[in-house]
Structure 1
Amino acid sequence: MSRVKVKDLEFELSIPEEKLLAAVEKVAEQMNKDLEGKNPLMVCVLNGSFMFASDLMKRLTIPCEISFVKLSSYSGTGSTGKVKELIGLNENIEGRTVVLLEDIVDTGLTIINTVEQVKQMGPADVKVATMLFKPDACKRDVTLDYVGMDIPNDFIVGYGLDYDGYGRNLKDIYTVVE
């Protein structure tokens, strides 16, 4: 599909599934090298990163575990500027390497808040992997250890990303048509 309608907005294809999976493969290869022997805990930030986390986990060859946290900072097409923790991390991460798996880093607010919360739990190291990064939207100084791809500062849906809860199921990524 070259165009889709999600709720009241039109979107056009911007990143096909094949390109997304190639980016995931690149991230997995780097993680397999960097995290060898570290027994990392992958922490999938829900809801958006579930597709990225699933595809990534299938490509990791290192021993690792996965857990999930649910955070929210969006409403409609824009950030609310506030991060709410909805479901927390239940594992003991003291002394472990933790890798936060994000779908997208744009303003940087969510990931900075999440890293700070995780650091308070005493891990040996906290790393950040994001499928997508919007450098032009980033308002904070963020450290991203693994980035699938940089993208423009456009509103997108698909591959786990949504518009008011809809569009996450699309296998490709679509950009809003202005």
Structure 2
Amino acid sequence: MTVEMSVMISTEEIQAKVKQLGELINAHYAQSEKELVLIGLLRGSVIFMADLCRCIAKPHELDFMTVSSYGRSTVSSGEVKILKDLDGEIRGKDVLVVEDIIDSGNTLSKVLEVLKTRGPNSIELCTLVSKPSRREIDLDVRFLGFEVEDRFIVGYGLDYDQKYRHLPFIGEIGL
């Protein structure tokens, strides 16, 4: 299969945005005495979260969940499966959920529903990319990187069939 790709968000733009998000997160949690836990949704968030956590001054834990709603498709199925749950406890802690992209909001809504039952002090959302035109569920995203149109994008953690995550930029692919 031949894939055509054009750069949508450059490496430099991503680096600047991650630094900016880190500064906003630092300011938000500066006065909190609670422990901070960053929860990355695997696999897409891993690259973003690795860069972001180095921009957060407050000591914090990292944990991960694996959830799926895409499979091998370019469109969310709407069915959310939790494939790997957290390893640590979040009761009484400040939780920052780190996501690569928010599309329909269905996946993240399910994750938030599960996390809220575990008694965290607070839960906030941070996403690198949002597609507001695709949103089916309204979510309060406190830390937002980029809003994009409804295009299929890859790179910087975003994939198509587990490929292209390694790209240092975000590109639009034409299949």
Q: Please say whether Structure 1 and Structure 2 have the same fold, judged by a TM-score greater than 0.5.
A: yes
3-state DSSP of counterpart to 1:54: helix
Matched residue type, 1:31: I
Match of 2:80 in 1: 83
Does 1:23 pair with 2:32? no
TM-score (norm 1): 0.93
Matched residue type, 2:23: E
Matched residue type, 1:125: S
Does 1:99 pair with 2:96? yes
Matched residue type, 2:67: L
Instruction: Measure, in 2, the Cα distance between the counterparts of 1:39 and 1:21.
Output: 26
Instruction: Measure, in 1, the Cα distance between the counterparts of 2:17 and 2:136.
Output: 24
Q: How many residue pairs get matched?
A: 172
Match of 2:62 in 1: 66
CA shift, 1:177, in A, is 2.9
Instruction: Measure, in 2, the Cα distance between the counterparts of 1:62 and 1:151.
Output: 30
CA shift, 1:126, in A, is 0.8
Instruction: Measure, in 1, the Cα distance between the counterparts of 2:122 and 2:2.
Output: 43
What are the superposed Cα offsets for residues 53-102 of structure 1, whole Å, 9 maximum, x if unpaired? 01101111111111111111113211011110010012111111111000
Match of 1:117 in 2: 114
Matched residue type, 1:71: V
What are structure 2's unaligned runs of at least 5 residues?
none
Match of 1:4 in 2: none
What CA RMSD, in Å, does the superposition of the two structures yield over aligned residues? 1.2
3-state DSSP of counterpart to 2:26: helix
3-state DSSP of counterpart to 1:52: helix
Which stretches of structure 1, 4 residues or longer, exceed 2 Å deviation after superposition?
none
3-state DSSP of counterpart to 1:78: coil
CA shift, 1:51, in A, is 0.8
CA shift, 1:47, in A, is 0.3
Does 1:128 pair with 2:125? yes
Match of 1:11 in 2: 5
Match of 1:51 in 2: 47
3-state DSSP of counterpart to 1:90: coil
Q: Which moved more, 1:14-23 or 1:36-45?
A: 36-45
Instruction: Measure, in 1, the Cα distance between the counterparts of 2:122 and 2:42.
Output: 21
Match of 1:156 in 2: 153
3-state DSSP of counterpart to 2:77: strand
